[in-house]
Amino acid sequence: MPEGLSPEQAAFWQAFCQSPGAPVDAARRFHSAFGIGSGSDAGAEAVVSGRKTATSALPSEFLPGKPPVAGSLSLLYASGNRPVAIVETVSITPLSLDEMDGDFIRAYGEWEDATAFRQGMLDWYRSVDPGFTPKTKLLAERFRVVWTKG
């Protein structure tokens, strides 16, 4: 069982592992539990609905050498750390805001256009890292939902 999960999250992960579609190596592929927008219901709904299939993070948000890789499985949670889905990392690429193209911005699914995306990202990341610039490398992740309960 992955460490650091709440009892509800652990039960959700276990149900996934016992489901017919779970890969036999699911336990080995577990990466983390995470929430979109600090674990908001709106962020989780955007992922589950398929409107959001990309995200990003500062490399420092992961333990050294521990960012997800293609094939990693993670538990997505909503408000109250309530588990809602298992997602699989499709790709992860170091990119700056200046390098993120229209396809990635659309997959991010949180802003209406590229200008709003770049400003929203600048505001968010500068709140975490005051030295953040449009040239700062982020880990740009593409993912897909592989399981929801029910």
The stretch 87-111 carries a mean pLDDT of 96
130 occurs within a structural domain: yes
The reported pLDDT for the residue numbered 61 is: 86
DSSP 142: E
DSSP for residue 71: T
Q: What is the CATH number of the domain that holds 64?
A: 3.10.400.10
Residue 109, sorted as left (phi over 0), alpha (psi -120 to 50) or beta, turns out to be left
Pairing of strands 73-77, 30-35: parallel
Domain count, the chain: 1
Confidence of residue 62 (pLDDT cuts 50, 70, 90): confident
Question: Domain limits at 33?
Answer: 7-147
Model pLDDT for residues 69-98, shown as the tens digit of each residue = 999 999 999 999 999 999 999 999 999 999
Instruction: Decide if 120 is inside a domain.
Output: yes
Cβ contact 146:21 at 8 Å: yes
Task: Please check whether residue 1 lies inside any domain of the structure.
Answer: no
pLDDT the model gives residue 106:
96
Parallel, antiparallel, or unpaired: how do β-strands 73-77 and 83-95 relate?
Answer: antiparallel
Q: What is the number of H-type helices and E-type strands within the chain?
A: 5, 5
